[in-house]
Structure formats: structure tokens, C-alpha cells
A and B are shown apart, each in its own frame.
Chain A
Amino acid sequence: AQKITQTQPGMFVQEKEAVTLDCTYDTSDQSYGLFWYKQPSSGEMIFLIYQGSYDEQNATEGRYSLNFQKARKSANLVISASQLGDSAMYFCAMRVDVIGNEKLTFGTGTRLTIIP
């Protein structure tokens, strides 16, 4: 069974600094996808970025990048030049590409607070 671990329950970062949110995963499957979602205080879930296990380059979306280290089974989210609007809960998730196991497994989340 797949598992996602986010070891940082909360983080405080100064505005304009870069921030790295940690995510490690565990699976025995070779083909899988990794995701990051943002949940602001308003409660909605916002998709940020996706990385496939066979993608050779790290995924990037604007100020978001995913630092994918396959051998270490880590998929850290990097936010460059943080803004006050980045304050939110962030969830890492994974899906394995196995027929009959089309689940999406989430981590417990990291609450990021950006300090002005």
C-alpha cells in the first residue's frame, strides 16, 4: 500500500523568502504520480503541481517547483519568493498506476504561514 509522509505540521517563513515543504512517499510500484494541493483558509482544494515517476525533469508551475528525488522517495514542494497569499495548508498526494488500485493517498499536510 502506498503511503505519504509530511513531517512538518507547521512552518513560518518570512515574506519573499523561498520555502521547501517536505514530502516522502513509499510504494513498491514503479509507475506513479505525485501531486501537491493547496488549501487556503477558505477551505477549497487547489491543484498546484504534478510529477510523474518517469518524468526526467522536475515539474515547475510558475513559482512552484517539485524537487523530485526518486532514489530518496521524496517529492518536496519549493515555493520561490513567498507571498502572504501562500499562507495555507499544503497537501502532498500520490497515485499508483495499478489497475484495481486507482486511489489517491494524501499526507497529513503542512500549515504554512508567511510572515510580513
Chain B
Amino acid sequence: EAQVTQNPRYLITVTGKKLTVTCSQNMNHEYMSWYRQDPGLGLRQIYYSMNVEVTDKGDVPEGYKVSRKEKRNFPLILESPSPNQTSLYFCASSLSYDSYEQYFGPGTRLTVT
């Protein structure tokens, strides 16, 4: 089944403890991206990747890192999480950046205390 998977789905952590949220797609998509969703703010793009080894900042990249070593994986790294990074995170992928449809993962709900 074609899908985008994210792990973990739920995470509660403490301020400053490094964490990684994994994202993987099995559709051979070139474009992948990360979003955070906050009430009243909609979805905001954190980082995106046009292809392997090519990443670029979205609208809210501060406090996050990404890497794209393989086409299928695009992990999101929070080196030192803070409470303002408590949010719902979505990974998405599409065949290319100008594709009509992005396929979203199920979301990761992160709470930083």
C-alpha cells in the first residue's frame, strides 16, 4: 500500500532532550516536507526536500533540523526541544514539488514539558 509513515505517533518529552521523528514513504517520491499544525495557525511548513541531499527552509525552521540521505526517509530532528514546539507534526511527500497532490502521513503529536 502506498503510504507515508511517521513514528512515533505520540510523544511526550522534556525540555532539552533531543528527539527524532521519522518519516518514510514507499512511493519513490522526490519531494518531502515537514509541517506543524497549531490551533488558529493552520499548517506551517518547517523544511522541505526536493531530492536526496537537497533540503531547504520553510516558514518556521528555527529549532529543527532535517536530513535526506535516502530518497524514502526524511527525519525531523529537534536537538533541544522547547515547550513552544509542542504541536502536531505532519510529514508529506509528492512525486515532485509541482505535483498536484501531496500525500500526508498520519501525524505525530508532540508534547514538550
Contact = CB atoms under 8 A, between A and B. Distances in A.
Contact of B40 (A43, A47, A106, A108): A108
Contact of B42 (A43, A50, A95, A107): A107
Interface string A53-97: 000000000000000000000000000000000000001010101
A33 B92 contact: no
Interface of B: 31, 33, 35, 40-45, 48, 50, 56, 58-59, 88, 90, 92, 97-98, 100-104, 106-107
Contacts of A91: 42-43
Chain A, interface size category, equals 20 to 34
Given A43-B88, A91-B42, A106-B42, 18 more contacts: A33-B100, A44-B106, A44-B107, A47-B102, A93-B43, A97-B98, A102-B31, A102-B50, A102-B56, A103-B45, A103-B48, A103-B58, A104-B33, A104-B102, A105-B45, A106-B35, A108-B41, A108-B42
Contacts of B44: 106
A107 B91 CA distance: 18
Contacts, number: 55
A44 B56 CA distance: 25
A71 to B, nearest CB: 24
Contacts of B106: 43-44
A77 B104 CA distance: 20
Contact of B48 (A45, A102, A106, A109): A102
A47 B106 CA distance: 14
B41 A45 contact: no
Contacts of B50: 102
Interface in A15-70: 33, 35, 43-45, 47, 50
Contacts of B92: 45
A102 B45 CA distance: 11
Contacts of B58: 103
A99 B106 CA distance: 29
A25 to B, nearest CB: 13
Contact of A50 (B97, B100, B103): B100
